[in-house]
Amino acid sequence: MPPTCILDEDDALELLALLVTSARTQVDEAAEYGPMRLLAAAHRLGELIGTRASAETAAAVAAALSRMPPLAVPRDDGDGPDGRDDYVARLDELCRALAAHLVAHFGVEPS
């Protein structure tokens, strides 16, 4: 089975521009905007994956990313529902969900 092309040239250029301009603006912005910009790029890539990948991957990516809004930023107000600890916990869960899909997708036995 030939590999599925997730990004065409236009999509790749759009994502590249988002990453490069995010890097530039991050120089002058507060540190908490860095994760927000990366999540915005992840959501954009997730949208592209959703329309061009297998049903399993599309569902896994959509479910994982739905738990973390693209404009979420960590806050310094402790462990409340919008605090830094909650933000980090949601990022950890996003990482676990994507890792679980990768293990299933590639048929790797978790260690």
Query: What does the pLDDT read at residue 6?
Result: 84
C-alpha 89: how far from chain center: 15
Query: What does the pLDDT read at residue 51?
Result: 84
Give alpha helix (H) positions in 1-111: 9-28, 33-52, 55-66, 84-106
- Per-position pLDDT tens, the chain of length 111: 456 688 889 988 999 999 999 899 989 988 888 888 899 999 999 998 888 888 999 999 999 999 898 888 777 765 666 688 888 899 999 999 999 999 999 888 766
Query: What does the pLDDT read at residue 1?
Result: 45
**Residue matched to tokens 């739905």:** 66
Query: What does the pLDDT read at residue 63?
Result: 93
Per-residue b or e along 21-60, where b marks 16 or more CB atoms closer than 10 Å to that residue's CB: ebeeeeeeeeeebbbbbbbbbbbbbbebbbeebeeebeeb
